[in-house]
């Protein structure tokens, strides 16, 4: 859930979709209450992708497949590998990927993200192969996902993590729902502190949307 602010609504009013088909998919998912990346986050990702021009993208958290399709539309020369275990969303993902004729460019790996990432680490051909990673899955596991993704990345790869502010719960325990989600907030804060302690990476944390962390692997 994003932090709803007048500034956020103002920023989203300048949203420009990549194409009409992707915009229609966004409209359909939003109308159905299916969670997808915010317009503001999509714009930030679009800029980052323009800068790094990835050839192989790893996504942790497929959901309905919108962001995978966005990556494929934005980076026509890239292949996307996406991971999720939620069958209720993956059925939408498979349908949408097929409608966009992207079955040959988007590989969906179904299963627990940690297990799938460990399997990829065990496969020699997957090591040092991804130059862009997008993490948008179980918030208590971000540190684990990050550490399991590192060996799969090329030198200088970019790892981007969404929803790091967790509706503000990470820094304001008086907000509605903060008590109920205190464990998630605790783990997310520990993840950010872990990133801040690393001397071999470059980290930028943004308050846009519900928070975004962009991490460049320098080693």
Which single residue is written with the structure tokens 């320098």? 218
Per the structure block, which two tokens stand in for 197? Answer: 């302690």
Domains of the chain: 6-217 (3.40.50.150)
Contacts of 184 (CB under 8 A, 6+ apart): 139, 140, 166, 169
If DSSP codes are grouped into helix, strand and coil, which group holds residue 44? helix
How far apart, in whole angstroms, are the C-alpha atoms of residue 185 and residue 9? 25
Which residue numbers in the chain have pLDDT < 50? 1-2
pLDDT at 54: 97
Strand partners, 56: 79
What pTM does this model have?
Answer: 0.93
Angle at 111 between CA 109 and CA 115, to 5 degrees: 105
Label the pairing between strands 56-60 and 79-84. parallel
* Confidence at residue 89, expressed as pLDDT on a 0 to 100 scale: 85
* Rounded Cα–Cα distance for residues 28 and 119 (Å): 34
**Cβ atoms 157, 135 nearer than 8 A:** no
Residue 196 Ramachandran class (φ > 0 left, ψ -120 to 50 alpha, else beta): alpha
Residues 89 and 93: their CA atoms lie apart, in Å, by: 6
Instruction: Locate 3 and state its tokens.
Output: 């932090």
Whether 33 contacts 64, CB under 8 Å: no
pLDDT at site 216: 97
Nearest to 43 by CA among 165, 212, 191: 212
Q: How far apart are the first and last CA of the chain?
A: 33
Which sign does the torsion angle of CA 125, 95, 25, 3 carry? negative
Distance of CA 144 to the CA centre of its chain: 15
């Amino acid at each position: 859930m994003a932090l709803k602010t007048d500034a956020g609504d103002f920023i989203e009013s300048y949203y420009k979709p990549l194409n009409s088909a992707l915009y229609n998919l966004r409209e359909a998912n939003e109308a159905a209450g299916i969670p997808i990346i915010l317009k503001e986050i999509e714009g930030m990702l679009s800029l980052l992708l323009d800068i790094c021009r990835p050839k192989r993208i790893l996504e942790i958290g497929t959901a309905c497949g919108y962001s995978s399709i966005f990556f494929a539309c934005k980076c026509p020369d890239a292949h996307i590998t996406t991971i999720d275990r939620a069958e209720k969303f993956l059925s939408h993902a498979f349908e949408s990927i097929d409608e966009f004729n992207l079955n040959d460019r988007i590989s969906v790996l179904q299963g627990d993200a940690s297990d799938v990432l460990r399997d990829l680490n065990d496969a020699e051909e997957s090591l040092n192969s991804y130059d862009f990673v997008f993490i948008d899955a179980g918030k208590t596991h971000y540190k684990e996902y990050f550490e399991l993704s590192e060996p799969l990345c090329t030198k200088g790869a970019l790892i981007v993590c969404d929803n790091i502010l967790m509706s503000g719960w990470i820094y304001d325990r008086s907000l509605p729902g903060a008590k109920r989600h205190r464990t998630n907030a605790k783990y997310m804060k520990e993840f950010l502190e872990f990133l801040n302690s690393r001397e071999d990476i470059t980290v930028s944390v943004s308050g846009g949307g519900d928070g975004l962390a962009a991490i460049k692997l320098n080693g």
